[in-house]
Amino acid sequence: MIVFIYGTTAEAIKVAPVARRLDALGVPYEQWLTFQHTKALRKILPSLGLRQPDRVIADGRNGRPLRSSFDVIPWLLSGLGWLRRNRKELRRSLPPGSVVIVHGDTLTTVLGAWIARRLGVPSAHIEAGLRSGNWRHPFPEELDRRAVGKLASIHYAPSHEAVEHLAGRPNVVHTHGNTAIDAVLDQTDTTVDGGEQWGIVLLHRFEFISNKTLVEQTLAALAEASPYPVRFFVDEFAKEAIVAAAPRDSSDKLQVQGKLSHEEFITTLRNAQFVVTDSGGIQAEAALLGTPTLIHRKATEQREGIGENIVLSEWRIDRLTDFLRDHAAYRRPVNRPAQSPSDIIIEDLTSRGMVIPAST
3-state DSSP call for residue 66? coil
**Residues composing the chain:** 360
Residue 75, burial from CB neighbour count under 10 angstroms (0-12, 13-18, 19+): buried
326-346 residues labelled b (16+ CB within 10 A) or e (exposed): ebeebebeeeeeeebbbebbb
* 4 phi, psi to nearest 5 deg: -95, 125
Q: Cβ distance 238 to 263 under 8 Å?
A: no
> According to the model, what pLDDT value does residue 360 have?
54
> According to the model, what pLDDT value does residue 337 have?
86
Please report, for the chain, the start and end positions of each structural domain, with discontinuous segments joined by +.
2-177+339-351, 199-330
pLDDT tens track for 120-161: 999 999 999 999 888 888 888 999 999 999 999 999 999 999
> According to the model, what pLDDT value does residue 191 have?
63
Measure the CA–CA gap between 15 and 42, rounded to whole angstroms: 15
CA distance from start to end of the chain = 16
Measure the CA–CA gap between 84 and 74, rounded to whole angstroms: 15
The three state secondary structure string of 260-308 is: CCHHHHHHHHHCCCEEEECCHHHHHHHHHHCCCEEECCCCCCCCCCECC
* Architecture per CATH, 2-177+339-351: 3-Layer(aba) Sandwich (3.40)
> According to the model, what pLDDT value does residue 359 have?
67
Segment 99-126 shows an average pLDDT of 97
Segment 65-69 shows an average pLDDT of 82
Q: Is the pLDDT of residue 58 over 70?
A: yes
Q: Cβ distance 256 to 237 under 8 Å?
A: no
Q: pTM higher than 0.85 for the full model?
A: no
Residue 5, burial from CB neighbour count under 10 angstroms (0-12, 13-18, 19+): buried
Segment 197-218 shows an average pLDDT of 93
Measure the CA–CA gap between 51 and 88, rounded to whole angstroms: 25
The pLDDT confidence band at residue 68, using thresholds 50, 70 and 90, is confident
pLDDT tens track for 248-277: 888 889 999 988 888 899 999 999 999 999
> According to the model, what pLDDT value does residue 236 have?
74
> According to the model, what pLDDT value does residue 192 have?
60
When comparing pLDDT for 67 and 173, which is higher? 173
Q: Is the pLDDT of residue 321 over 90?
A: yes
- Contacts of 120-123 spanning 24+ positions with Cβ under 8 A: 120/91, 121/3, 121/94, 122/153, 122/154, 123/99, 123/151, 123/152, 123/153, 123/154
Q: Could you tell me the fold of the domain covering 199-330?
A: Rossmann fold (3.40.50)
> According to the model, what pLDDT value does residue 9 have?
92
> Identical fold at 2-177+339-351 and 199-330?
yes
